[in-house]
Structure 1
Amino acid sequence: MAVGQRQLAAFAETHLTNVPFDVSPRYLADPGDARHVTHALAAVRWNCSSDPLSPQVVLTSPERDARLSLNPLSAPLPCWRVEGHPVDGPYWWAAFDELVPAEIIAGLTDALIPGHSADQPDVRDVLAAADWTVTGRNGQVSSAHSPDDMVSVEFHDDSTETFSWRIEARAHPGEGPALWAIRLHGQTPAPMVSGLFTALASSEPVQRAMSDRTAHYSAPKEPSPLQPQQVVAAHTNRLARLRSQARAQRRRQHTAPDRPAAGLPTPGHQAPPVPGDPTERPFVTPPRTPRPHPQLMEQLRLFLSESKRILADWDAYSDQHSGPGGWPLDEHAHGRRASRRDADTWRAFNRIRTDARHLLHTAETQLSALPPTTVQPRWAWQLATLSDALDHLEALHARWLETRTSLPAEARPGTETYGLALAEHHADAWSYLDTWAIHAQAILDIHTAAQQAPSPLAPAPAPAADRASTAGR
């Protein structure tokens, strides 16, 4: 499953019309948008096996060793449940009540994404650094309380409990009914536990709409410095980062050990450039007169058309060569086909690569001059998202040129070492290229709106009666 334009547009539609407010402490905020969790997992190829017309969501990892279920109708039972059943480890689970903020749940689920650092801080250190009161012996946490005493943590290390971690937020400091609860099985892996507590104890506020309820009336809600477009762009960028992280980790796992590592540096040697290879050219050409704008618009249309075809071909291949759960039947063949998709998308982007920044600046200028009644709310954040993706693409291109320079002398174009390094560059860039494939239509839409908008220099048409009298004279 992938997070495509339709899903991102639906997310944007929700948040672009809301004035964001910061809520802190985050554990007293309302649940927020569940897509903070589900979009992240879907972006890294978790498969959705639930009925799309049902309120329940079920996602399964590509390796089928973890599962997330969200059932809003299950209250008062936990609405969220995450289960892990790895081949080489014990079964574990985590359960979250309906009112647990999505950002806290994501602390655990993000740790399930390939590439997440296994070197996570100890829970005791995380809570102590956030000024929580912690008790325990021998470096273990037996109980903890938030600075305002609204959240309590208990750890049970005996076999009489069906869970080992119990985390509860209460209506009053140290007492009163529970606002929400989290339960963790004793075998929950340490990175997931650490990720959860890091998100729970974070002092960073979470953004909520002005009209959203909070889990507790005492939770401060202040106007956020973020604009709605920035909230949406942060979500899009988060998905791109997690997707890139997961792809990089899977490439490392599926690289044969007897293959030479891509980009082993050998000082003093430089591989020759590839004749006609567009990756050898500067990402942005030196100052020059841009191509005529109508020509750039046509090249942008061709890029969008080609990228759409490339993605459709990839989806058809993936559907044909994947099992019922969405995992590849042959990981190596799947990886090779993904590399081809990445390279093809990069080549398609070369149509506009050197003029992409000019395209953005022109669209921003056109957007600022449009009558407000003709402006779509999503255009501003889409341009911001495209600009951020272009920043990453420029940085990745500069890193590729450095990598190519450091390749061994024998790593000429056509060799496996060169090919692996170039494929890794294309793979790192793909998620940002995909961002352009999804959102660059906004540049065309803004251009069309600018052409149809009345020119501020054109005189207002005379009334029909005046024109008739003038013609009579």
Structure 2
Amino acid sequence: MAVSPAQRASYAADHLYKIPFHSSPRHLAGPGDPRHVTHALLAAGWAVTSAPGDPRLVLTGPDHARHRLLLDPLAHSYWKIDAADRSWYASFDQLVPVEIVAGFTDRLISGPRRKDLGPWQRMTRAGWTVERRPDGTGKAHSPGSHRLWVESEQRYEDDPTRLTWQIQARPDYDRPLVWRMWINGIVPEHLLDGLAEQLVATTPVVRGMYEYGGDSIRQEPSGLSPEQVVEAYTARLEAVRKLVRAERRSRRLTTSLPAPAPPGTVPSPVPHR
């Protein structure tokens, strides 16, 4: 399902009146616009499967409905993403910035990449304090006072592949929790890597002036115009569409190639004309 002209126009109308500011630290900048996540999934072919009039939005992936996203404004776990076979699920509080949520959901679209590092190595390279355990679990925290805390534990002792990840954001260690995310089950490594890539990023995110307004947030003029913010949104959707089209072409080429000859056989000669 593509993003409709009406959906694009609604996004533009909401952002053309806002003065863009760079907000940091990014993990405390507030939720942002959820359409950063949902419209990208729609551009990738996901479909709205929630009932008309339901305040909860359900999106189902095109990959034989193997993945589902639930956006529930009525629940504390604002975002819920899961696999249809119940092998894993992820939940994100409402104040998790959409850029961090998209680190996870964008990789549902793009799949694994050659430059994937894995979450622990990505955090280590970014200068986080990381403690690994022999069983593959561990804990880590970001540098500075406005820290992100990450911990993974085994969910079942007899199945080391089923881990529970808990990630928390706090302005300071002795201050109240701002948001939390939970990830449980056998989660594909590339999804965790995409999430970690956004967790360790230090670039500010764009928000409207005074948007969210937590006392730990620093806002500075971004130099962007509202029109440029809308253009970046449009470019993001176009990039997703191009990626999906390229993957479809690649799959068609792969399936159209002739099957390899069995070992030890000699291909038939091509007759001369």
Q: What TM-score do you get using the length of structure 1 for normalisation?
A: 0.51
State the shift of 1:221 in Å: 1.1
| Residue identity matched to 1:232 | V
State the shift of 1:236 in Å: 0.5
| Residue identity matched to 1:238 | R
Cα pair distance change 1:141/1:217, threshold 3 Å: farther
Cα pair distance change 1:10/1:175, threshold 3 Å: same
User: Which residue number in structure 2 is paired with residue 183 of structure 1?
Assistant: 182
User: Which residue number in structure 2 is paired with residue 195 of structure 1?
Assistant: 194
Distance 1:59 1:124 in 2: 30
Distance 1:116 1:8 in 2: 29
Percent of aligned pairs with the same amino acid: 40
User: Which residue number in structure 2 is paired with residue 217 of structure 1?
Assistant: 215
State the shift of 1:176 in Å: 3.1
State the shift of 1:196 in Å: 0.5
**SS across alignment from 1:82:** strand
Q: CA deviation digits over 1:162-205, x for unaligned, max 9? A: 961100112x4223321110111131110100101111111121
Greater share of strand: 2
User: Which residue number in structure 1 is paired with residue 238 of structure 2?
Assistant: 240
Q: Does 1:152 align with 2:149?
A: yes
Cα pair distance change 1:85/1:131, threshold 3 Å: same
Q: What TM-score do you get using the length of structure 2 for normalisation?
A: 0.85
**SS across alignment from 1:212:** coil
Cα pair distance change 1:137/1:255, threshold 3 Å: same
Distance 2:238 2:47 in 1: 18
Q: Does 1:54 align with 2:54?
A: yes
User: Which residue number in structure 2 is paired with residue 362 of structure 1?
Assistant: none
| Residue identity matched to 1:94 | A
| Residue identity matched to 1:69 | L
**SS across alignment from 2:210:** coil
Q: Which has the larger radius of gyration?
A: 1
Which one scores higher on RCO, CA 8 angstroms, separation ≥ 6? 2
C-alpha RMSD of the superposition: 2.2
Q: Which runs of 5+ in 1 are unaligned?
A: 261-473
Distance 2:237 2:101 in 1: 16
Q: Would you say the 8 A contact 1:68–1:80 is kept in 2?
A: yes
2:92 to 71, 96, 110: 96
User: Which residue number in structure 2 is paired with residue 226 of structure 1?
Assistant: 224
Q: Would you say the 8 A contact 2:137–2:153 is kept in 1?
A: no
User: Which residue number in structure 2 is paired with residue 131 of structure 1?
Assistant: 127
Greater share of helix: 1
Cα pair distance change 1:245/1:17, threshold 3 Å: same
Distance 1:139 1:167 in 2: 19
**SS across alignment from 1:184:** strand
State the shift of 1:122 in Å: 2.0
Count of paired positions: 253
Distance 2:245 2:80 in 1: 25
Cα pair distance change 1:140/1:163, threshold 3 Å: closer
| Residue identity matched to 2:13 | E
State the shift of 1:40 in Å: 0.3
Q: Does 1:105 align with 2:101?
A: yes
Q: CA deviation digits over 1:340-370, x for unaligned, max 9? A: xxxxxxxxxxxxxxxxxxxxxxxxxxxxxxx
Stretches of 4+ moved more than 6 A in 1? none
Distance 1:29 1:116 in 2: 28
Distance 2:54 2:2 in 1: 19
